[in-house]
Structure 1
Amino acid sequence: MNIDNDLRRIALQEQQLQFERFDLDTAWKLGVTLRRMAAERKLGCVIDITLFSMQVFYAALDGATPDNPNWVRRKRNTVFRLFKSSYATGLSLLKQQTNLQAKLGLADAEFAAHGGSFPIVVKGTGCIGAVTVSGLPQRDDHNLVVEALAELLGANHDELKLES
């Protein structure tokens, strides 16, 4: 893993994985896509889609733990605060050899700079929410979200995925 390469690729993901519009049907389709992918791969995780106004999708798959919803909340809070993926935030902080508390005064109990939460962006509007996965290693959480977004938006996942 090369942090600079990952940060460039995540910036590309965030630029390309944007919606023309996003409504509750879109949230459902995204959530079902994520759940299908996770179930087919037998991944124990929690999936959450939350807009700034309300939670619009939630699923927990076999193997999820009681800690996963709290991780979802903390990663989502990071996206809501910074309007970029929680993984990009974590990698940026790692590169700077700091953390959310030291850099921004954000408490670990409320925020997590770990992969798995990705901004839901509507073109011309901005970030309206976040889609979050928790339960896998953070890079895998992030990659699963990106893969589902790419499928739903018709983007080329091979061009967007993080290098192995």
Structure 2
Amino acid sequence: MADSPTTTALLDEEAELQFPYFNADVAWRIGVLLREEAALGNLPVSIEVAMGGHPLFFCAMPGASPDNAGWVRRKRATAERFLHSSLYVTQLCVERGRGFERYSLPPQDYAASGGSVPVSVRGTGMVGTVTISGLTQYEDHAMAARAIRTVIAELERA
């Protein structure tokens, strides 16, 4: 994914990333996969997998700061509010030439920054999020999307 994906590309990605089903075991698998990637790369990230706003997996890697947990919460709130990735919302503002503040959402609760990707189930819609904080917004988003894509492929092979 390029550093500045278009909203069209992000919507296409969201349409592609559809789970056959999602539960706590799937959430845990995504979280463990992300934690392993972060450990291998020595990445100072916080990772959360949530369903219905309820965290099912959370991990703060060495080097992540307490601020990263706050960013995770705020990015997740943005994805849940708009039912799209937080990067999509951010890029939409850029493409339309309007600031995120136009939505009048409290900045202590919402972040216009990529890194929270919807967990969607085919025929159901968005049921949760995978959120990462600690890298650039584009790297956070790409890491979450990669893990989702990997776990969807595993579920479809099973």
Asked whether the two chains share a fold, i.e. TM above 0.5, the reply is yes
Q: Quote the offset at 1:118 in angstroms.
A: 0.5
TM-score, with length taken from structure 1: 0.88
CA distance in 1, matches of 2:29, 2:141: 18
Match of 2:137 in 1: 138
Contact 2:30–2:147 at 8 Å: present in 1 too?
yes
2:51 is equivalent to residue 56 of structure 1: no
2:119 is equivalent to residue 120 of structure 1: yes
Match of 1:6 in 2: 6
Distance 1:58 1:41, change over 3 A: same
Distance 1:51 1:2, change over 3 A: closer
The alignment-based identity, stated in percent, is 35
Q: Quote the offset at 1:53 in angstroms.
A: 5.3
CA distance in 2, matches of 1:121, 1:140: 21
Distance 1:109 1:2, change over 3 A: same
Match of 2:151 in 1: 152
CA distance in 2, matches of 1:2, 1:154: 25
Map residues 48-87 of structure 1 onto 2, 5 A cutoff: 48-52=48-52, 54-87=54-87
Question: What 5-or-longer segments of structure 2 have no aligned partner?
Answer: none
TM-score, with length taken from structure 2: 0.91
Extract structure 1 runs of 4+ deviating beyond 4 A. Answer: none
Contact 1:86–1:113 at 8 Å: present in 2 too?
yes
Superposition RMSD in Å: 1.6
Q: Which amino acid aligns with 2:145?
A: V
